Amino acid sequence: MNILVTGGAGFVGSNICIYLKEYYSNAHIIAFDNLHRRGSELNLKRLKEKDITFIHGDIRNPTDFLQIPPCDWVIECSAEPSVLAGFHSSPYYLVQSNLTGAINCLDWAKENKSSFIFLSTSRVYPYSIINSLPYLETETRFTPEYEKINIPGFSEKGISEEFPLKGPRTLYGATKLSAEIVALEYAEMYDIPVVINRCGIIAGPWQMGKVDQGVVTLWLANHISGKPIEYIGFGGQGKQVRDLLDIEDLCRLIVWQMGNISSINKEVFNVGGGVKRSFSLNELTSLSHQITGRVVPIRYNPDTRPGDVKYYITDTSKIESISAWKPEISLIQTLNKIACWLFDNSERLKGIVL
């Protein structure tokens, strides 16, 4: 079996490559990446050690795909993953990579009759709707006033695939949703199996966290290196809520999807850690303090960044109803794994994460 992982040197891609190699030891796994993300180059050694082929290439350039042998699978993990991309900069790279590039990947999959798994995002759901819901403010987080909310796909379990899609969602969310729509058309017109995973925050070792992406790593890294953290937006108290899925739980899901592709062809799944793995920034600070034993200065910035959401928790009922998969790694276990990775690799992560 040949498996192509685009964005294979990134956080999600490199971990998927390594997990798949351990699971399918005879598979030929190819990581294809243009190393655009600072720190992705550190993953090349990990890939090489596991006998994973690295091909330097750019999904924006169809000719770069000529270097790749035919593959049974394409797992599309390459992207500009920052939700802030395009706000104070040109949207060109974002649109070219996340939309045109994703279509190039689909086209290559069509030519090679490969099955296609697409890493999409929870940010396809409009921030305008999420932020307009009524919330109570507890000491550490925003909590929806469920009894006052009557929107499809919104419940105590979180946000499901039924949540409305009409409204602004950032160009990041828009390029991902557009790529999803094209992917489903490719499945229909060209008969290639396609599965879409709309992921909330994914976290774990080897995520090169920065201010605009990878908040969990950023928080722990700043605690370890003594740099300040900043609560940005929604009043500046760090009460915005997210859930977290450990990268290993995601990899386990990908393996299940590969084994069950015919029964889930053309399906879209919300994938995340759910209520049990939810946290606010404020709570993440306390947990980071507990884990690292360090306290860092906190900056309070009430101004909300464009496109930001007050609350997102994934309702994973759909995937859990058709599979035995559910997240297994707890929030605290993931945070501990990241902290150990940061301590163990502090020298090489200096200037990138630390």
Ligand X SMILES: NC(=O)c1ccc[n+]([C@@H]2O[C@H](COP(=O)([O-])OP(=O)(O)OC[C@H]3O[C@@H](n4cnc5c(N)ncnc54)[C@H](O)[C@@H]3O)[C@@H](O)[C@H]2O)c1
**Where do contacts with ligand X occur on this chain (CB under 6 A)?**
7, 9-13, 33-37, 40, 58-60, 77-81, 97, 101, 119, 121, 199, 201-202
Q: Which is nearer to ligand X, 93 or 235 (CB)?
A: 93
Nearest distance from C-beta of residue 94 to ligand X, angstroms:
9
Residue 32 host element (H or E)? strand 28-33
Nearest distance from C-beta of residue 250 to ligand X, angstroms:
9
Q: Which is nearer to ligand X, 210 or 326 (CB)?
A: 210
Nearest distance from C-beta of residue 26 to ligand X, angstroms:
25
Calpha distance 238→300 (Å, rounded): 8
Residue with tokens 């947990």: 287
Calpha distance 278→284 (Å, rounded): 10
Q: Which is nearer to ligand X, 261 or 352 (CB)?
A: 352
Q: Which is nearer to ligand X, 58 or 147 (CB)?
A: 58
Query: Which among 254, 329, 314 is positioned nearest to 121, based on CA atoms?
Result: 314
Residue with tokens 């994703």: 102
Rounded to the nearest 10°, the torsion over CA 342, 217, 3, 45 is: -30
Q: Which is nearer to ligand X, 76 or 267 (CB)?
A: 76
Query: Which among 102, 92, 93, 103 is positioned nearest to 37, based on CA atoms?
Result: 93
Cβ 28 vs Cβ 18: under 8 Å = no
Nearest distance from C-beta of residue 196 to ligand X, angstroms:
11
Give the 3-state secondary structure of residue 157.
coil
Rg, C-alpha atoms of the chain: 19
Instruction: Note the residue count of the chain.
Output: 354
Nearest distance from C-beta of residue 75 to ligand X, angstroms:
10
Q: Which is nearer to ligand X, 16 or 139 (CB)?
A: 16
Nearest distance from C-beta of residue 29 to ligand X, angstroms:
15
